[in-house]
Structure 1
Amino acid sequence: MIGTRKFAAVLASALLLNGCKVGPNYKRPMVVTPDQYRGVAPDLPGQPTAQPFAEMQWETVFQDETLRALIREALINNYDMLIAASRILQAQAVVGITRANQLPNVSGSGGVDYQRNAFALNGPTVDSLGISLNYIVDFWGKYRRATEGARAQLLATTYGRDVVQTTLISNIAISYFALRQFDDQLDFSQRNVAADNDIVLINTVKYTGGDSAITDVYQADLLLQQAQAQVISAQQSIAQTENQISILLGRNPGPIARGMALVDQPHLATVPTGLPSALLERRPDVRQSEELLVAANANVGVAKAAYFPQISLTGQFGAASTALTSFLQGPATVWSLGGEVLQPLYAGGAITSAYKLAWAQRNESELTYKQTALNAFGDVANSLVGYNQARLFRMKIEEQTNTYQETARLANVRFSGGVTSFLEVLVTQQQFFTSELALAAAWNTEMQNYVQLYQALGGGWQP
């Protein structure tokens, strides 16, 4: 029992030695943040209590229930999401493996030794049972730094999944809005085909009666062919976009359900962006990059610890006896305790090179972090400008479309009063349909920029 107490005392002392960690402690690098995002709308409400756009749940940002259902399905079944979740499990296992290096390695053993020879036919049989321990004292913090790095890698992997989620939500929404535009394009193109077909018939009759040239017929037929080509193009775009969304959902290619029309999609006219300084905490890619920097910083400590001696303790405690009746009695117990110090003397410069490599990788990670943060500010600025300008452009196209619609209405009134021909009615209708195509495209551009702004601000990953 005295030996056991000595053994426990030595082990406890070794554990208390785990107090220092070589290598630099992590400190977040200085990043210059703008006072205000470039491109913030001048009519943006200056209410400090307004909830930032990125803090809104994606279910609040997208209010089309069909789109919501598609996003929910994708978050469950999308293979990129499943792969990202698998990587998190792998990173968790690495943390467990790395952390285990900080603990003693304990193993048990047992055996029976038969001794027989020509001179001792009835030699003794020795039964033995014991526990052995091997413990590397983490005096320099090598394994604690390694665990610190593994945990940072785990967090980086988790933020990586959040990046996948925000990208997936963005891709689903953008593809869905594009699909609704192609639906409008198909509808308007089919109506255009009907109007162009009537124009061809009227010009053919006029040419037959000698009231117009054959070039008028050819020109009308050319417009009809263009409208028919637009129908084919819209049908192709619809099928390909449905296939794209299906793949994002983890399905085989197939049809996609529709909800609100593009022009009916609710969205904010002005977006509360929040403070630029908050973007470093809100963007998952920025946080992922920072955790990779934390891991690289910890690896410097791991590399530096290689310069110092490695202290290891070994111990055994057990019993050995030729009789089971005295197996656990005092005289039968055996124990041993030993220590070892291993100091590297010459490694051909490998230790120094590994240390320099760790520092270089750490410095690269810091530069990558700063670049990621800078790109994030640029993404927000570009998305703000894109959304605000797309909204203004859509409003102008909307005014233009309203003018074409009124022109077509007046042409109908004039035709009903016998003032003009039906050809003028068809031409103004054709112009109106073409303007509607442009308006659908403008709506799609506005909604896509809306989604991109939400992603740029770091929205879509919060639980």
Structure 2
Amino acid sequence: MRIKHRNLFCTALVALSVAGCKVPAIVQREPNRIVPAAYATGGTDSSSTASLSWKQFFTDPYLQQLIDTALLRNQELLTTLQEIQIAKNDVLFRQGALRPSVGARLGLGVEKVGRYTSQGAGDASTEIDEGKEVPDPLTDITGAVYATWEIDIWHKLRTAKQAAITRYLATVEGRNFVRTNLVAEIADNYYELLALDNQLSIVQQNIGLQQNALGIVKVQKEAARVTELAVQKFNAEVLSSQSLEWGIRQRITETENRINFLLGRFPQPVPRATGEFFSLQPASVQPGLPAHLLTGRPDIRQAELQLAAAKLDVQVARKEFLPSLGISSAIGLQAFKPSYLLKAPESILY
């Protein structure tokens, strides 16, 4: 009986061990591919306001004139234009490496070797012409044309050229990003300036009304209708509004200076529209699709191109470890005396 219980216990233990050692099955979940039928405002139109030019979006002639001036004179934008020129020259440099290079050399030198050396002993026993020994010291006059060409067997030079082109396109996108930020910043400051002008006009109207009320209170005080406390209270209101007026004027000057800085010119009044602030209607913005918004941003395109250029640079660095094959040639004239240069073929070198 005891042996039977022992067998049952061993069987249960083996079953539990097999169940405990079982590998759990991989649970695969179906991805949720359900997306909204529309984006943002509920429309399905894929057109985006970002595809419009800034002249179509900003129709204020004063603002357009400011933006045109900034695109011509902004210092940061001019810096990006120089970076584009540098990248363009780098493309030309990389392209030139694929072609043979040709150069010319014209040299004049003097050599003095020891008499008791193999070269000195050989020169002393050698005659250039009958009865004429090799002069000592020996001059060297050389005029030659040479050419070199590296064969791009591993596509190293072509990859370097492609990296330079990609980096050039990245600098172009960087310029577009600077242009976009510049236009947005000028427009933001311009409309802030219009709002400050409108605020200043309202404060000046309030000051006029408060001054009239102060005059009425003074007349009432002379008629013993009110006390001096009422006069001082209205006077304090007038002074408070006047201090607010000067604060707004200070903000107007600061905003004008920011615009002038973006335009690359000295501080001066900024021409702008007057009396049209409340009639301004913001243009409707079409967001488009999120994917289009990402592809339309120049900073994202710049980052993508910079990453692609970095990958190409890694390929070029790896191919630098491989052997290279180059072809070089030269032809010219060389002699120790000018009159011997025209004696061919003895004076020809190659």
Q: Same fold (TM over 0.5)?
A: yes
Identify the residue that residue 264 of structure 2 maps to in structure 1.
250
Identify the residue that residue 265 of structure 1 maps to in structure 2.
280
In 2, Cα distance between equivalents of 1:113 and 1:257: 71
8 Å CA contact 1:132–1:315 kept in 2: the answer is: yes
Identify the residue that residue 169 of structure 1 maps to in structure 2.
183
The residue matched to 1:263 in structure 2 has which SS?
coil
Structure number with bigger Rg: 2
Identify the residue that residue 324 of structure 1 maps to in structure 2.
342
The one of 65, 70, 87 aligned to 1:69: 65
8 Å CA contact 1:319–1:332 kept in 2: the answer is: yes
8 Å CA contact 2:144–2:330 kept in 1: the answer is: yes
Quickly say closer, same or farther: Cα 1:35–1:69, change in 2 above 3 A: farther
Question: Amino acid of the residue matched to residue 231 of structure 1?
Answer: E
Query: Can you list the C-alpha shifts for 1:414-447, whole angstroms capped at 9, x where unaligned?
Result: xxxxxxxxxxxxxxxxxxxxxxxxxxxxxxxxxx
8 Å CA contact 2:341–2:347 kept in 1: the answer is: no
In 2, Cα distance between equivalents of 1:287 and 1:309: 35
Query: Can you list the C-alpha shifts for 1:103-158, whole angstroms capped at 9, x where unaligned?
Result: 33332345689999798574689986543333333322322222222111111111
Quickly say closer, same or farther: Cα 1:126–1:238, change in 2 above 3 A: closer
8 Å CA contact 2:45–2:288 kept in 1: the answer is: no
| Pair 1:101-2:115 in alignment | no
8 Å CA contact 2:256–2:267 kept in 1: the answer is: yes
Q: Shift in Å at residue 201 of structure 1?
A: 3.1
Runs (5+) with no aligned partner, structure 1: 1-33, 336-463
Quickly say closer, same or farther: Cα 1:318–1:239, change in 2 above 3 A: same
Q: Shift in Å at residue 294 of structure 1?
A: 1.0
In 1, Cα distance between equivalents of 2:105 and 2:204: 84
Q: How high is the sequence identity, in percent, across the aligned residues?
A: 27
8 Å CA contact 2:125–2:133 kept in 1: the answer is: no
**Mapping of 1:114-153 within 5 angstroms?**
120=127, 122=132, 130-153=144-167
In 1, Cα distance between equivalents of 2:177 and 2:58: 19
Question: Amino acid of the residue matched to residue 279 of structure 2?
Answer: D
In 1, Cα distance between equivalents of 2:38 and 2:85: 37
The residue matched to 1:264 in structure 2 has which SS?
coil
In 1, Cα distance between equivalents of 2:314 and 2:329: 32
Q: Shift in Å at residue 264 of structure 1?
A: 3.1
Identify the residue that residue 80 of structure 2 maps to in structure 1.
84
Q: Shift in Å at residue 66 of structure 1?
A: 1.0
The residue matched to 2:282 in structure 1 has which SS?
coil
The one of 149, 154, 159 aligned to 2:173: 159
Larger helix proportion, structure 1 or 2?
Answer: 1
**Mapping of 1:266-345 within 5 angstroms?**
266-268=281-283, 270-318=284-332, 322=340, 324=342, 326-327=344-345, 335=350
8 Å CA contact 1:64–1:265 kept in 2: the answer is: no
In 1, Cα distance between equivalents of 2:288 and 2:324: 51
In 2, Cα distance between equivalents of 1:157 and 1:180: 35
The residue matched to 2:330 in structure 1 has which SS?
strand
Question: Amino acid of the residue matched to residue 191 of structure 1?
Answer: Q
8 Å CA contact 1:63–1:265 kept in 2: the answer is: no
Identify the residue that residue 41 of structure 1 maps to in structure 2.
41
Superposition TM-score, scaled by structure 2 size:
0.72
Superposition TM-score, scaled by structure 1 size:
0.56
Quickly say closer, same or farther: Cα 1:114–1:254, change in 2 above 3 A: closer
In 2, Cα distance between equivalents of 1:281 and 1:63: 26
**Mapping of 1:399-410 within 5 angstroms?**
none
Identify the residue that residue 59 of structure 1 maps to in structure 2.
55
Query: Can you list the C-alpha shifts for 1:198-219, whole angstroms capped at 9, x where unaligned?
Result: 2233344445555456554444
In 2, Cα distance between equivalents of 1:114 and 1:282: 66
The one of 164, 184, 187 aligned to 2:198: 184
Q: Shift in Å at residue 334 of structure 1?
A: 5.6
Quickly say closer, same or farther: Cα 1:126–1:173, change in 2 above 3 A: closer
In 2, Cα distance between equivalents of 1:104 and 1:245: 51
In 2, Cα distance between equivalents of 1:112 and 1:191: 89
Question: Amino acid of the residue matched to residue 321 of structure 2?
Answer: Y
Quickly say closer, same or farther: Cα 1:257–1:36, change in 2 above 3 A: farther
Q: Shift in Å at residue 317 of structure 1?
A: 4.1
Q: What is the aligned-residue RMSD (CA, Å)?
A: 3.3
